[in-house]
């Protein structure tokens, strides 16, 4: 293990330890908020797999969040707790399937078209949730209790407490982070990064680049489905706004704010963006406009996010080379 790897590991463990202490320090409101942030962080790092490693700018990532969330809500029985061992894999499977269907069409394009196509298909998913009575229409759906982990009739864990649900979400975040880190370091991850930097070269080397891009899109969709499921049970409510284009835009902003292509950056970005959102919402009812202003300023003055800023402070010369 090199020095930097040791340092990274130490920072990661310190952050996890800090996050594990959160329920002992903060009240119920902030615990719920931290749970939401942990779930959104899973979304942000899964989107970073597309943005930072595969070079695919998806403006429709909220669609898979929505599919995971709605699947979780629809599978929940009305008067008893859902079994997570059954409903979670099914929700992830639903998000994976939708990601595959949209992905098959979307990966036929790239660049600017890819942005527009993913935005349009996500909006279609929004209208499905919004306009069909089956999914609850514009009112959305309520979930009546948090899930349990059950084997047969034996309850292994009841996630109805806020603290245990926070730890569950945090656990999934850590597992997702480790999984995605392994994915980007694996041969598969090297290939998608190769496609990002020069697709034609990778195709000339004999890689079926479309299949790799589709695989990357579907993996990201699966993690988004997981995060959607967790978010749905955190709020105990799903609504079409979860899959709207505004949600997709906020997810992109989390990745950019933290710094794409780092995985840890987008997780920090999720935390910061929600913190800013809460701060502005406390300040004024017109916080959405201020959020827009914040986004405009970040894009103009901090386009490489905090990770870019950190890199510039830490290694000024290299950052300047990267900037080109």
Residues that bind another protein (CB under 8 A): 51, 57, 59, 105-106, 108-113, 115-117, 119-121, 123-124, 127-128, 131, 245-246, 249, 252-253, 256, 286, 288-296, 299-300, 303
Q: Which residues pair with 142 in a beta bridge?
A: 237
Nearest-approach distance from CB 119 to another protein, in angstroms: 6
Nearest-approach distance from CB 286 to another protein, in angstroms: 5
Q: Are 38 and 173 in contact (CB under 8 A)?
A: yes
Nearest-approach distance from CB 84 to another protein, in angstroms: 32
Q: DSSP per residue over 207-269, as a string?
A: --HHHHHHHHHHHHHHHHHHHHHHHHHHHTEE-GGGGSHHHHHHHHHHHHHH-TTSSHHHHHH
Nearest-approach distance from CB 294 to another protein, in angstroms: 7
Nearer to another protein, 160 or 284 (CB): 284
Nearer to another protein, 127 or 279 (CB): 127
> How far is residue 179's CA from residue 220's CA, in Å, rounded to a whole number?
11
Nearest-approach distance from CB 281 to another protein, in angstroms: 13
Nearest-approach distance from CB 221 to another protein, in angstroms: 17
Nearer to another protein, 91 or 260 (CB): 260
As to burial, measured by CB atoms within 10 angstroms (0-12 exposed, 13-18 middle, 19+ buried), residue 166 is: buried
Nearest-approach distance from CB 144 to another protein, in angstroms: 30
Q: Are 70 and 135 in contact (CB under 8 A)?
A: yes
Query: What are the start-end ranges of the H helices in the chain?
Result: 3-25, 28-48, 62-75, 84-106, 111-131, 162-185, 187-197, 199-204, 209-235, 245-258, 264-283, 287-301, 305-314, 316-323
- Segment holding 145, helix H or strand E: none
Rounded-to-10 torsion of CA 61, 64, 65, 66? 120
Nearer to another protein, 30 or 245 (CB): 245
Q: Are 105 and 117 in contact (CB under 8 A)?
A: yes
> How far is residue 254's CA from residue 48's CA, in Å, rounded to a whole number?
10
Nearer to another protein, 16 or 281 (CB): 281
Joined together, the tokens standing for residue 92 give 């992830």
Nearer to another protein, 80 or 323 (CB): 323
Nearer to another protein, 301 or 314 (CB): 301
Nearest-approach distance from CB 117 to another protein, in angstroms: 6
> How far is residue 246's CA from residue 104's CA, in Å, rounded to a whole number?
24
As to burial, measured by CB atoms within 10 angstroms (0-12 exposed, 13-18 middle, 19+ buried), residue 80 is: exposed
Nearer to another protein, 183 or 273 (CB): 273
């Amino acid at each position: 293990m090199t020095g930097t790897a040791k340092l990274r590991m130490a920072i990661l463990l310190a952050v996890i330890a800090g996050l594990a202490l959160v329920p002992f320090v903060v009240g119920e409101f902030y615990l719920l908020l931290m749970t939401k942030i942990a779930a959104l962080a899973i979304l942000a790092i899964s989107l970073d797999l597309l943005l930072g490693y595969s070079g695919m700018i998806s403006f429709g990532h909220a669609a898979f969040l929505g599919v995971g969330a709605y699947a979780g809500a629809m599978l929940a029985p009305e008067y008893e707790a859902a079994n997570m061992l059954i409903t979670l894999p099914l929700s992830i499977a639903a998000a994976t399937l939708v990601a595959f269907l949209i992905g098959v069409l979307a990966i036929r394009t790239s660049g600017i078209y890819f942005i527009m196509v993913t935005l349009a298909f996500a909006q279609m998913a929004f209208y499905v949730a919004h306009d069909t009575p089956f999914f609850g229409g514009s009112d959305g759906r309520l979930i009546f209790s948090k899930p349990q982990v059950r084997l047969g009739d034996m309850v292994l864990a009841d996630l109805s407490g806020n603290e245990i649900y926070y730890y569950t979400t945090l656990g999934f975040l850590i597992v997702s982070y480790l999984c995605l880190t392994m994915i980007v370091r694996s041969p598969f991850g090297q290939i998608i990064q190769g496609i990002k930097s020069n697709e034609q070269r990778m195709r000339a080397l004999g890689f079926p680049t479309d299949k790799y891009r589709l695989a990357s899109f579907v993996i990201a969709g699966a993690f988004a489905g997981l995060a959607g499921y967790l978010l749905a049970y955190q709020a105990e409510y799903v609504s079409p706004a979860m899959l709207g284009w505004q949600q997709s835009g906020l997810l992109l902003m989390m990745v950019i704010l933290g710094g794409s292509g780092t995985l840890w950056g987008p997780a920090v970005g999720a935390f910061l963006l929600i913190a800013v959102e809460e701060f502005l919402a406390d300040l004024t009812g017109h916080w959405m406009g201020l959020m827009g202003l914040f986004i405009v300023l970040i894009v103009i003055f901090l386009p490489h996010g905090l990770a870019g800023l950190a890199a510039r402070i830490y290694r000024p010369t290299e950052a300047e080379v990267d900037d080109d």
